Structure 1
Amino acid sequence: MQKSKKSRAQLLHQYYKYTGFYAFIWANTKKALLPLGIIIGILLYINYKVMSINDMLLYVTQNYSDFSIFSLFFVSESILGLLPPDIFIAWTKGTESPLLYLSLLAVLSFLGGVISYYKGRTLLLVPKINDYLEGKMTKHIRNMQKWGGFLIAVGALLPLPFAIACLAAGMIKFPQRQFYIFASLRVFRFVIYGYAIYSALS
């Protein structure tokens, strides 16, 4: 009796299962949830035990320009995501236009990923930097070669290093059009986390 052919979706599921994609997502999600929980816990503790988060955010907005805060965030998102975006999301709640500012953060984060992508493509032209990055990012490059766009999507949506995924995508010269499509999912992360953080601080 002839076996029925598996659909494309079934074949992809089988491939991602065998190559450890699901295990990778679960392991990294567990690692990322702890820092997120700690950040929210610290914010709640400060809010109820030390001083109102709203007062603290008001102080930041009154003493630092919006441009300087957005610039700091953009630089962080362009250089391997050095600062947690959740801190900046909490900051937007104390601004005059939280949703507008949250949208600007999402756009800047996406653009930071784009810069990381082109950085990966450009830096490969310098032999010494190419050798250094390939040595430091062997695991990320290998994962990107195996999982491609889905790894970019995971980095965009989950609390994982988005900039590193974009850098690895550039290093393997992942198709630009597909990169933009997967990377644009970054916006949804800010919608989801914005709702969670706004709710926790309300």
Structure 2
Amino acid sequence: MYKQKKSRVRLLHQYYKYTGFYSFIWENSKKALVPLAVIVGILLYINYYVMSIDKMLVYATQNFSDISIFSLFLVSESILGLLPPDIFIAWTKNTSSPLLYLSILAALSYLGGVISYYKGRTLLLIPKINDYLEGKMTKHIRNMQKWGGFLIAVGALLPLPFAIACLAAGMIKFPQKHFFLFASLRIFRFVIYGYVIYAALS
């Protein structure tokens, strides 16, 4: 039984290797690091020459309602992940209940992925939008057809476009039960990044 399981793992490894899954992850991770480095650079510049990040976060906490920030985050996570989640994670550090707020962010991010998934399924019913999206997302759709749940899991855990992976999953009608399972890994991303960012801001 153990040998059979090991053989299956090897077959999966060979499949993902031959279909370019590992190189896809590596290339997209490198691409994701560039804008991330730019954002970090801008934040460091602001921190040292304009206003400390800590003061900025306190300012945001004092001048914007929690609901408005959470709403902005949900919209971002539902529309291709326009804003880096890390900024919002840093914001929770200066709230009255950091862990509660971080948990809410994780839940909203997961919800944003679910919205993108159903958006993908629904938009297929509109011919013009379907044709437009299929043209724009041909590569993502093909990758989702090849790698399915693993691509969703990678999008959930790594700094890759989670919303796009969810949208593509919806467009190919990836099984809902499996989608919910793989997408739930998004919560672990917030646990890990929350720990790192909280430690950096301490």
* Correspondence list, 1:1-202, <5 A: 7-202=7-202
Bigger drift between 108-117 and 37-46 goes to 37-46
Contact 1:40 1:197 in 2 (8 A): no
Shift of residue 30, structure 1, vs aligned partner: 1.2
> Structure 1 counterpart of 2:76, which letter?
S
Shift of residue 86, structure 1, vs aligned partner: 1.2
Q: 1:143 & 1:110 partners in 2: Cα distance? A: 21
TM-score relative to the length of structure 1: 0.93
Shift of residue 52, structure 1, vs aligned partner: 2.4
Where 1:174 maps in the other structure, the secondary structure is coil
Structure 2 unaligned regions, length at least 5: none
> Structure 2 counterpart of 1:103, which letter?
S
Bigger drift between 60-69 and 84-93 goes to 84-93
Contact 1:44 1:200 in 2 (8 A): no
> Structure 2 counterpart of 1:33, which letter?
L
Contact 1:44 1:201 in 2 (8 A): no
Shift of residue 22, structure 1, vs aligned partner: 0.1
1:6-28 per-residue CA deviation (whole Å, 9 max, x = no partner) reads 71100000000000000000111
> Structure 2 counterpart of 1:12, which letter?
L
- What is the RMSD computed on CA atoms of the aligned residues? 1.6
Moved over 6 A (4+): none
Number of residue pairs matched by the alignment: 199
